[in-house]
Amino acid sequence: MTRIVSAFVIGLLFGTGILVAGMANPAKVLNFFDIAAIGSGGWDPSLAFVMGAALIVTAIGYRLAFQADHPLLADAFSLPAIKSVDGRLVAGAAIFGIGWGMAGFCPGGAVPALGLGRSEPVIFVGALIAGMLATRLVQQARARRTQATAA
């Protein structure tokens, strides 16, 4: 129960930060990506400050967290096993960036924006879920094909 309450509080804090920073507003995000507007005053650099602040907080958090033997609410740290940059990672990052630039939403900004009563985040999150399901189906089909070939 403590883990669920902790996840809820952390998610609420994150979502509030996203809303306060204006990152749930796709126009604000798209104005950051519009580098052609730098000279005209239409470019909004505030997203860079939000990302910079997030990196600083993350660096401090990791530094403090890894000084402990284990996390507060788990027996061990859960770290990614793969530490290399491969084609899947690059392709996924590119798709993420293209989608963010086209829609003005990333998952971190779209989920809190669901509570604002606008249709855009609902459509985005629906497309996000559909993409995740499609990816899972493709991965399962590949795994079955690999097993069939090996057998």
Q: For 12-36, what is each residue's pLDDT tens digit?
A: 998 898 888 888 888 888 888 888 8
Q: How far apart are CA 43 and CA 36, in angstroms?
A: 8
Torsion sign (Cα): 36, 19, 46, 124:
negative
The pLDDT value given to residue 100: 84
Low-confidence ranges of the chain (pLDDT < 70): none
Q: How far apart are CA 119 and CA 127, in angstroms?
A: 12
The pLDDT value given to residue 47: 86
| Residue carrying structure tokens 């990052």 | 93
The pLDDT value given to residue 126: 92
**Structure token pair of residue 59:** 């660096």
CB-based contact 108:18 (threshold 8 Å): yes
The pLDDT value given to residue 141: 94
